[in-house]
Amino acid sequence: MSCVFCRIVSGEIPANRVMENDQVVAFHDLGPKAPVHVLVIPRRHVVNVGSAGPEDAEALGAVLLACREVAEACGVAESGFRVVLNTGPAAGQSVDHLHAHVLGGRSLGWPPG
């Protein structure tokens, strides 16, 4: 298994986990871009939104619901948070395993990037 996020899911690689359930794992990003920067990944390997199909609907929904839970756990649900899903290298996706970035704890400008 060469996917670093699959290795985190399996416990082979440690991560500072915020929450997990039977469908997702959420952990702090090693290179945070905001005071709160947590990655939420499905336990099942899905490359990205662009490769997702109808069979991935439950995993995608679980990721988004977990983003809300992470925001609450990290204290940014009330003040506001951003959820980012990069798809492909031109968008900044550096790991080929779907992951949502939950960012908060400071004002986030618009447009991004």
Backbone angles phi, psi at 37, to 5 degrees: -145, 100
Residue 49 lies in a domain: yes
| 99 a catalytic residue | yes
Residue 92 lies in a domain: yes
- Work out how many domains the chain is built from and give that number: 1
Residue 90 lies in a domain: yes
- CATH number where 9 lies: 3.30.428.10
Q: What is the pLDDT of residues 53-95, one digit of tens each?
A: 999 999 999 999 999 999 999 999 999 999 999 999 999 999 9
Residue 93 lies in a domain: yes
112 pLDDT above the threshold of 90: no
Residue 112 lies in a domain: no
State both tokens at 2.
């060469």
Write down the pLDDT at residue 47: 97
113 pLDDT above the threshold of 80: no
Write down the pLDDT at residue 1: 63
- From the candidates 37, 97, 99, 101, give the one annotated as an active-site residue: 99
Average pLDDT, the chain: 96
Alpha helix segments (H runs only) across 1-113: 4-10, 57-73
Strand partners, 41: 25
Residue 109 lies in a domain: no
97 pLDDT above the threshold of 90: yes
The more confidently predicted of residues 1 and 14 is 14
Residue 110 lies in a domain: no
Residue 35 lies in a domain: yes
Write down the pLDDT at residue 91: 94
Domain, as residue range, for 21: 4-104
